[in-house]
């Protein structure tokens, strides 16, 4: 079980602390990987803001795996830039499995280099997605496997500062290793969720993690939103559930409604690239779609507006600056 050595309380965010995507574009000034520009005056002091970060795990398609790796989902990612005023965080796969299938751990990073450059120019961020597989395609969380994958993947992606873990797995040992290679932000945590795995993969334990940003060994840990749902709880045998952002709007609406009742000022969600096509090869092709993603994000804006909130979509690096930075003008 994971325990967090340091906790940082989420506080109200100054509504002027970061620009929206459209503001960044009009000014023509932005930091590396689209870091938002900090303003000096509150132009909309009365507006309550919710800062939302949406991540994309850039895995190969599950429909063709394990026979071969195909990338239809990643090839479809440019469609995301057509969605208005939304920044993304793209988590590029780099680990020993990518090396073994493709000849290099940096295969996805190099093959789609123009896409990642376009993402940075758009104001989005590029991070890292790493899985701990053994040679037989099973999850391997031994220290040897963790160290090998982290050292290999970090070098392949030129030492990224953002990570979103495969199966969201994390441990004290892996966090320390990630910090050692320069990772400073992890948005893998799924508060109060735990799963023992299925088919030799997908095991994780966030049962002790609260819905609050924390710092572990120098890494800023930002949780995704999880919620209780009676039907889904029975289906997945977990107390709480997390829905990817491409899930059917009929289900995702329940998550959004639950989130807005909390009064929280930040929201994190993610999805897998192959859910856009979709290219999962089973019943999930009917559950996930690009159209669902678009509908869910527009509904989020509309539901929040009815409660007096403006949703500002930022990348995860910007969100970390908001949640942990010292530029806030108000404190809890």
Q: Is residue 204 part of a domain?
A: yes
Q: Is residue 6 part of a domain?
A: no
Nearest to 117 by CA among 37, 199, 34: 34
pLDDT category of residue 228 using cuts at 50, 70 and 90:
confident
How many whole angstroms separate alpha carbon 261 and alpha carbon 26? Answer: 33
Taking 50 as the threshold, does the pLDDT of residue 13 lie above it? no
- Number of structural domains the chain divides into: 1
pLDDT given for residue 12 in this prediction: 40
In a domain, 221, yes or no: yes
Q: What are the CA-CA distances from residue 42 to residues 18, 48, 123 (Å)?
A: 10, 12, 22
The residue whose two tokens read 């089973």 is 282
Distance CA 95, CA 100 (A): 9
Whether residue 176 is predicted with pLDDT greater than 80 in this model: the reply is yes
Q: Which of 136-140, 195-199, 211-215 has the lowest mean pLDDT?
A: 195-199
Q: What's 81's domain CATH number?
A: 3.20.20
Strands 266-272 and 194-198: unpaired
Region 177-182: mean pLDDT is: 98
DSSP string, 214-275: EEETTEEE-PPP-B--HHHHHHHT-SSB---TTB-HHHHHHHHHHHHHHT-SEEEEEEEGGG
Comparing 209 with 171, the larger pLDDT belongs to: 171
Q: Rounded to an integer, what distance in angstroms lies between the CA atom of residue 175 and that of residue 217?
A: 7
- Residues 57 and 164: beta-carbon distance below 8 Å: yes
Global confidence as pTM:
0.84
Whether 13 maps to a domain, the answer reads no
Query: Is 33 domain-assigned?
Result: no
Q: What CA–CA distances, in Å, run from 201 to 2, 96, 130, 140?
A: 18, 16, 13, 8
Is 88 within a domain?
yes
Q: How much is the pLDDT for 260? A: 97
pLDDT tier, 7 (very low <50, low <70, confident <90, very high otherwise): very low
| pLDDT tens per residue, range 268-294 | 999 999 999 977 777 777 899 999 999
Q: Give the domain range for residue 302.
A: 55-324
Copy the structure tokens of residue 286: 């009917």
What is the pLDDT at residue 147? 98
- Does residue 326 have a pLDDT over 90? no
Whether the per-residue pLDDT at 205 is higher than 60: the answer is yes
Give the model confidence (pLDDT) of 127-143 as tens digits.
Answer: 999 999 999 999 999 99
Asked, for residue 20, whether it belongs to a domain, the answer is no
Is 244 inside a domain boundary?
yes
């Amino acid at each position: 079980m994971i325990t967090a050595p340091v906790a940082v309380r989420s506080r109200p965010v100054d509504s002027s602390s970061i620009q929206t995507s459209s503001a960044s574009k009009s000014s023509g000034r932005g930091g590396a990987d689209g870091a938002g520009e900090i303003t000096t005056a509150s132009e909309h002091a009365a507006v309550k803001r919710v800062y939302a970060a949406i991540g994309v795990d850039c895995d190969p398609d599950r429909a063709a795996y394990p026979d071969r790796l195909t990338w239809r989902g990643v090839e479809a990612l440019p469609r995301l830039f057509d969605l208005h005023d939304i920044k993304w965080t793209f988590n590029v796969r780099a680990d020993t499995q990518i090396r073994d299938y493709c000849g290099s751990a940096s295969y996805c990073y190099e093959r789609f280099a123009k896409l990642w450059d376009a993402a940075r120019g758009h104001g989005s961020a590029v991070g890292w997605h790493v899985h701990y597989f053994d040679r037989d395609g099973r999850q391997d969380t031994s220290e040897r496997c963790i160290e090998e994958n982290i050292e290999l993947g970090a070098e392949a992606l030129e030492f990224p500062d953002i990570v979103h873990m495969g199966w969201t797995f994390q441990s004290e040992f892996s966090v320390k290793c990630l910090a050692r290679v320069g990772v400073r932000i992890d948005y893998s945590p799924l508060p109060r969720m735990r799963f023992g795995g299925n088919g030799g993969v997908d095991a994780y334990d966030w049962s002790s993690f609260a819905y609050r940003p924390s710092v572990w060994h120098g890494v800023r840990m930002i949780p995704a939103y999880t919620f209780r749902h009676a039907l889904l709880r029975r289906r997945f045998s977990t107390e709480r559930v997390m829905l990817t952002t491409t899930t059917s709007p009929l289900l995702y609406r329940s998550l959004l409604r639950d989130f807005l009742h909390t009064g929280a000022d930040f929201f994190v969600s993610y999805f897998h690239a192959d859910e856009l096509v979709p290219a999962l090869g089973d019943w999930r092709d009917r559950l996930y779609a690009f159209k669902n993603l678009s509908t869910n994000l527009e509904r989020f804006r509309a539901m929040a507006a009815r409660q007096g909130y403006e949703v500002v979509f930022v990348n995860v690096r910007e969100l970390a600056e908001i949640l942990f930075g010292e530029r806030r003008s108000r404190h809890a």
